[in-house]
Chains A and B, each alone.
Chain A
Amino acid sequence: MGKFILQRLLAALVTICIATIAVTILIHLVPGDPVRIMYGSFQTTPEELEAIRVRLGLDQPIWTQYLMYLERLLHGDLGRSIVGDQPVLDVLLARFPATLALTVSSLFIAVVVGMSLGFLAAYKRGTWVDVGSMVLAIVGVSMPHFWLGLLLLFLFALQLQWLPVAGGDWRSLILPAMTLGLANAAVLARLTRSAMIDIFDQDFIRTARAKGLPRSIVLYRHALRSGLVPVVSMLGLQFAYLMGGAIVIENVFAWNGVGRLAIEAVLSRDYPLIQGFILFFATVVAMASVVIDVAYAFLDPRIRYS
């Protein structure tokens, strides 16, 4: 098991390294000199711009910049943001709890709604419940997060006035969490349905029924437990989707998390902050995957030896 975890951690580390290399290269392909963009108002002399460029290491070749970045990283230093001149790690950590709260509550909504819907659809296969659930799921998958967010906002905040439009307290978390959660519930519903249908057709379910076990025991103890294994394996991926979705949703609901921070950083070409964000994002997603993989391995012993 230790070896398995180590393998997964190493794989995560490789993912993170690839992410940092990719972002260093990508950012230089985008037109625009970051120093000019940030400090290039005519109020600054060319000498000052050059001094800033040297200070940030932006006068160096890309690979040198990347090595400098890695060296600082090993000292736990993610650099300082260009806007506001703050330590990048502090800026990210200040905004991360909001994103974590959003993604975890969305995941909760996605799991509860998605799995229930999928299970129900599988159980009532071929009926209007099944068709209705799957139509809902297709709508959910197809609908852009942004649009769903605005629809929910107009309904619950503007028309019914049950929830605030934006803000910062726990009640303003409900709408963005619902938006992200419902959109992702659709994916889980479809997945759960197909997994459960497979299970319902298995011999051991037929045997359990044949030996006269109560229907609830067959459903929950036999079918649900086995059916959920593949679904759980998808949760890591779902978490990554949610983190990605958070970037858009945080903007719609003025939720002050790292997703919005990322948009601000990209618009102002705040290089250190963008690099920090990608690294942070990749680390969180990679670590979440490791945790899910390990949990999966515990659920299904066959995984450890494959």
Chain B
Amino acid sequence: MDDTRRRGRGLRVLAGVPLTAVLALATTAVSAQELVWARYGDIDSLDPHRATSTLSMQVWDQIYDTLLAFDMDGKPGPNMAKSWTVSDDGLEYTFTLNEGIKCHDGTDFDANDVKFTIDRAFGDTPSLTRTSWGPITDVTVVDPLSFKVTLGSKFGAFLPFLADSFSSMICDTNTVDTFGSATAIGTGPFVLDEWVKGSEVALSKNPDYVNFGEPYDNKGAPHIDKLLIRTVPEAQTRLAALRTGEVDIAEPPFDDIESIKSAGELEIMVAENTGQDVFWEFTTSRPPFDDIRARQAVAYATDPQMAIDIIYGGLTNREWCPVARGVFGNDQEFCKQFGYEYDPEKAKALLAEMGFGPDNPMKTTMFVWTGGNRHKLAEIFQSQLAQVGIEAGIEIMDIGTMNARVKAQNEDATSDEPGTFDMMTWSWYDPDILYQLWHSPGAYSGFSTPELDAMLEETRTTIEPEARLEKVQAVIQYLMENAVHIGLYSPGWEWVFAVRPEVEGFKVGPFLHPSFLDVKMSSDG
């Protein structure tokens, strides 16, 4: 590493404190076009079909581009594809690409690259994106700038998916073994220089980049020359690095946000329309939560608004819907009608009906995943539950383990242990998340009924927006009335950014996709 930022710091060590101010000015001016973004973890892969983490997707966004793009409200519109037509039966989509898109290796991006990407998603094992693309049966290149996608059945989430990072367009020159682990050729605003695993993803600006549809002011190449995405696991270390200027953007420790705000040294940015939903869900295959009254009792007994006010201040919102803000179908007023306002007396009455009382508390265990102060939130909920006579233990684990254990709980219908419930989190760009979660067998082998399955299928096969909204809201109502999926709050993880004053124009697009297209580094920060 020989950038001026580092050389400058070396001189400071030699010269000592008195020179610091002078040199700081000099180094900032010279290295103004480099931005360092620190995050708690590294990416899993550079291959968009090989990982699912938000950390990975946020890097793909910089290297690759997508056929469609979400606007700031989360609606998909043209991007690399400038237009498309849909056949009357809703099974054939014909897309036309914009001209002049260049891959990072200098080759032209055309319909063959699109076919390469989709074929790869379906042919490659293990591809993690396959089912998200929908029931695609064929991709045909019509001419270099147009292609036709054929679906086996109608799929309402198809167009939104084409704006999501999972559908990142991969150039067909990515044929070497190192693709995904060391190399990645895309058409996005930044070119991969190097991925030092566990440490840093180094990117340079793509001078040929054209922004056709991303919701940012800059329609050309990024203003900054270098984007260094660094892994700094410890939150206090990230904050220290932000304060010294080694890092320009990072997620701050929650407990320090108030002091950062009052000190005014860093700007605190909160992402909106993240699509992140934190919700209660239950092991419905055995007591006590096989009984709807037990689920409703938990919902009535817990007060998410109070809990998030205490733990997150004003950084997050009460979320009534099973699909979060920014996602098609989200409507707070609609969802609230079927929601469970905090009412401990109702909870007690339901528990009494089930035979529980002060001498015979309902016992259960709450699963929570680590990080983001969620354990503190869980403690508040635990004491709220205790007030109505629900004795809930708390088990904290990483998200991967929680996913696996929730599924295992649902699949174990005969255990003598009381069923668990969990503070689950999901982020998705479309209400199709409800299909993935609740259509049998479901992501967690949880609650399902033939009636719900049929309703969910209709949300997929209905494409026309108004009609689809009706179908989606019917599902929302069903899930809430049956106390299956009870929204708590949104956003819920990695949504707060502390930004140094030198950084201008940093924006976070919908579904938590940070963009550096408009970023300029000022020298007077």
Contacts and interface: CB of A to CB of B under 8 A. Distances in A.
Interface of A: 30-33, 36-45, 48, 51-52, 83-86, 91, 94-95, 150, 153-154, 157-158, 160-169, 171, 251-254, 256, 260-261, 263-264, 267-269
A165 B235 CA distance: 12
Given A51-B126, A166-B237, 10 more contacts: A32-B401, A37-B403, A41-B443, A48-B125, A83-B45, A150-B236, A160-B17, A166-B241, A251-B233, A264-B41
A8 to B, nearest CB: 33
A33 B20 CA distance: 52
B1 interface: yes
Interface string B197-218: 1111000000000000000000
Given A260-B198, A269-B400, A43 B407 contact: no
B267 interface: no
Contacts of B318: none
Interface of B: 1, 6, 9-10, 12-13, 17, 20, 41-42, 44-45, 50, 52, 125-126, 128-132, 180-181, 196-200, 230-234, 236-237, 240-241, 243-244, 246-247, 397-398, 400-401, 403-405, 407-408, 436-437, 443
Contacts of A168: 1, 196, 199-200
B131 A45 contact: yes
Contacts of B200: 168
Nearest to A83: B44
A256 B403 CA distance: 28
11 contacts: A31-B408, A33-B404, A36-B403, A41-B128, A85-B180, A91-B197, A161-B20, A164-B6, A165-B241, A171-B13, A260-B198
A164 B246 contact: yes
A269 B401 contact: yes
Contacts of A158: 240, 243-244
B198 A256 contact: yes
B232 A31 contact: no
B354 to A, nearest CB: 29
Contact of B126 (A48, A261, A264): A48
Contact of B230 (A153, A252, A254): A254
Considering the complex of A and B, which 3 residue pairs feature the smallest CB-CB distances, nearest first?
A: A37-B400, A165-B241, A42-B443
Contact of A164 (B9, B42, B181, B196): B9
Contacts of A171: 9-10, 13
A74 B41 CA distance: 33
Q: Find the residue from B20, B233, B234 having the highest chain A CB count within 10 A.
A: B234
Contacts of A45: 130-131
Contacts of B13: 162-163, 171
A16 to B, nearest CB: 25
A84 B17 contact: no
B244 A261 contact: no
A169 B1 contact: yes
Contacts of A37: 400-401, 403-404
Given A153-B237, A158-B240, A168-B1, A84 B45 contact: yes
B6 A169 contact: yes
Contacts of B50: 85
Nearest to A33: B404
B197 A153 contact: no
Contacts of B241: 157, 165-166
B198 A261 contact: yes
A71 to B, nearest CB: 24
B264 to A, nearest CB: 17
Contacts of B404: 31-33, 36-37, 40
Contacts of B403: 36-37, 40
B63 to A, nearest CB: 16
A29 to B, nearest CB: 13
A38 B400 contact: yes
Contacts of A30: 401
A252 B234 CA distance: 5
A99 to B, nearest CB: 11
A42 B436 contact: yes
B364 to A, nearest CB: 17
Contacts of A91: 197
B198 A95 contact: yes
Given A161-B20, A165-B246, A43 B131 contact: yes
A86 to B, nearest CB: 6
B180 to A, nearest CB: 8
A39 B126 CA distance: 8
B234 A254 contact: yes
Nearest to B443: A42
A5 B247 CA distance: 50
A91 B196 CA distance: 11
